[in-house]
Amino acid sequence: MQRPMDSRTQYSNLLANIADGDREAFSDLYFQASPKLFGVAMRILGDADKAADAMQDGFVQIWQNASHFTASKGAAEAWMAGIVRFRALDILRKDRTRATLIDDRTEIEDGFLIMKEPTEALLALKGCIDRLGDAEKKCVLEAYMNGYTHEELSIRLEAPLGTVKSRLRRSMFALKECLSQ
């Protein structure tokens, strides 16, 4: 009896088939992964229409770049989530830029830091990240820059799942506090 494939293997196989132009594999991938990827975009944007746009743009990029995915470098789900996350952040950045141009203020608006120069925001974020402890910093960077899930971080960092979740929660609270000062 064959054992069922886990989603990591299944997504990797589907991406390999998509790289060869398999439209049915793309349809299968969309059906299986779109709820999770929509959730990624929704958490960032907080707006269903914008999240749907980010997810659609992300799937276009997944179709176009499936040949660039390498299973040995990471999970397919994390790779796809990273693509959708970056699309959502692009949408968010454009919205913030519009808000800054309209209002031309530097303040916290709707929980986001709005600054005149994007480099100021990046420097502020880097400074706040540098204040985190080594374990917390690694956890945040692996999760948000490399797209690892809590479970993947637990394995990657050789830490209990609860510890990983706590580190991320504390780190995000600390970053929010730091950026609001």
Q: pTM for this one? A: 0.51
Summarize pLDDT for 29-85 with one digit per residue, the tens: 999 888 888 888 888 888 888 888 999 999 999 999 988 888 888 888 889 988 999
pLDDT of residue 24 exceeding 90, the answer is yes
The CA distance from 84 to 159, in Å, is 27
> Percent of the chain beyond pLDDT 90?
15
- Name which residue leads in pLDDT, 163 or 116: 163
Band of residue 6 on the pLDDT scale cut at 50, 70, 90? low
Fold equal for 1-104 and 105-181: no
Q: What CATH number should be reported for the domain whose range is 105-181? A: 1.10.10.10
The CA distance from 75 to 38, in Å, is 18
Domain covering 1-104 assigned CATH 1.10.1740.10 in the classification? yes
